[in-house]
Amino acid sequence: MNTKLNVLLAKTDQLASSFKEGIKDYIKFFKNNQGAFKGERKTYTPKADKIDVPSMRANNLVVTTVDEKLQWLEKSSAEYVDALFSQEATNASGLAKAKLVVDEVDFGELSSLELLRLKSVIESGDIKEMYSTIPTRSDAEVWEETSNEQYVGRNIFDSPITSGINKTTTKESYILPDPNADKAGANYKPQIATKDTIEELGEYTFQKFSGEYSHRQRAEILRRRERLLVSIVEALKIANEVEAVPSVVTSDKIFNYLHRGK
């Protein structure tokens, strides 16, 4: 029975970690258990009337061989290696395709390789963080698209113009009149008062301009990113429903050459 590409994908995903861990285990075993590949046999027969030395005898068996370990590697990893290269052969054949449509926007028919590449770009944490940190203008203020000539065509907004008069206060000191001042002695101190005079210095206006996005615009971009990602995943599932193409590269060919030069 022919295998579907989506089955191969599930198989390689499931077996990939086991294959990697198996290779790591072999590295450890080859480094730390070299004695398992070695054996020795010692015999000793004492001469007549001589003392026997049992320590001169030994029979330490070889636990395993490199050949046996490599044969087990071939057998245990064959399913993963064959599935992995069949997966790549199927993707490269161009059979695995699906239409990508998001919110009625048609991206066209994409191969599974294109969809996988697009998925890796869109789901990147950096992309999401970039959109999440888009500067936004305050919703507590009123904004309108500006008609200011220097900003025309640049999607810049402005706030209402506020105006007013710039004022200052001038303080003037003066002596309060005292009808009894003539009768006061030498130690008399007049009462001093201060008069404030408000002066108008000029007229002012103030207006804010913003090239930021609204909170809604930023939220819509993040929503569309999520919708695109979901649609890519759905398209991949459809694309991967095709029959798998067996690869000419198999586990037997790889290991026969590496281990036996055939």
DSSP label at residue 103: T
Cα dist from 203 to 153, 161, 200, 208, whole Å: 30, 13, 8, 18
- DSSP secondary structure string for all residues of 115-174: HHHHHHHHT-HHHHHHHHT--B--TTS--EE---GGGTTS--EEPPPEEEEEEEEEEEEE
* Helix pair angle (215-239, 112-122), 10° resolution: 150
Q: How far apart are CA 13 and CA 86, in angstroms?
A: 13
250 in Cβ contact with 83 (< 8 Å): no
Is-contact 219 102, C-beta < 8 A? no
What integer pLDDT is reported at residue 193 of this predicted model?
87
User: What are 95-112's pLDDT values in tens digits?
Assistant: 888 999 999 999 999 988
Other Cβ atoms less than 10 A from the Cβ of 257: the count is: 10
Q: Across-strand partners of 110? A: 98
Contacts of 183 (CB under 8 A, 6+ apart): none
Reference 236, options 3, 70, 16, 10; nearest CA is 10
The token duo for 2 is 């022919």
Task: List CB contacts of 35: < 8 A, sequence separation 6 or more.
Answer: none
For 231, other C-beta atoms within 10 Å of its C-beta total 19
The DSSP result for 166-212, as a single string, is: EEEEEEEEEEPP-TTGGG--TT--PPEEEEEEEEEEEEEEE--EE-P
pLDDT at 49: 86
pLDDT by 10s per residue, the chain, length 262: 578 888 888 888 889 899 999 999 999 999 999 999 988 888 889 888 889 999 989 898 889 989 999 999 999 999 999 998 898 888 888 888 899 999 999 999 998 888 988 999 898 888 889 999 999 999 999 999 999 998 988 999 999 999 999 889 989 988 888 777 666 666 777 788 899 999 888 888 999 999 999 999 999 999 999 999 999 999 999 998 888 888 999 999 999 999 988 8
